[in-house]
Amino acid sequence: MAFKDNVKKGTTELLVLSLLNNEDMYGYQICQTLAEKSNHIYMISEGSLYPILYRLSQAGYVTEHVELVKRRSRVYYHLEETGQNYFQQCLKEYRMLISSISEILGE
């Protein structure tokens, strides 16, 4: 497994939380937004995304609501207040880790 794959695996949940902190989104939209915002470097399949969304939902951080769009049901994910708190905690830990890594690398 390449280095970037390991980094991606470790940060996907944080990035999903970040996107949902801004707006409710459906799965495909989350995948596309991650790709677009990263200039298509950070690509994730829906098959890899949904276990993360289910885990966040089971923890009570995310809720789902269904909307009918062009005669199709679309499941939107909403970050609850507990999820916002969890996101802030993850973001703080991420920033501390990045800072420590930068120190080690001499940056």
| Residue pLDDT, tens place only, 4-38 | 666 777 799 999 999 999 999 999 999 999 999 99
For residues 43, 89, 56, 32, the Cα torsion angle rounded to the nearest 10 degrees is -20
- Given the structure tokens 């949902």, which residue do they identify? 20
Is pLDDT at 107 greater than 90 in this prediction? Answer: no
pLDDT for the residue 86: 96
- Residue 84: is it exposed, middle or buried by C-beta count within 10 angstroms (0-12/13-18/19+)? middle
- Residue 99: is it exposed, middle or buried by C-beta count within 10 angstroms (0-12/13-18/19+)? exposed
Give pTM, 2 decimals.
Answer: 0.89
pLDDT for the residue 46: 92
Average pLDDT score over the chain: 92
In total, the chain counts a number of residues equal to 107
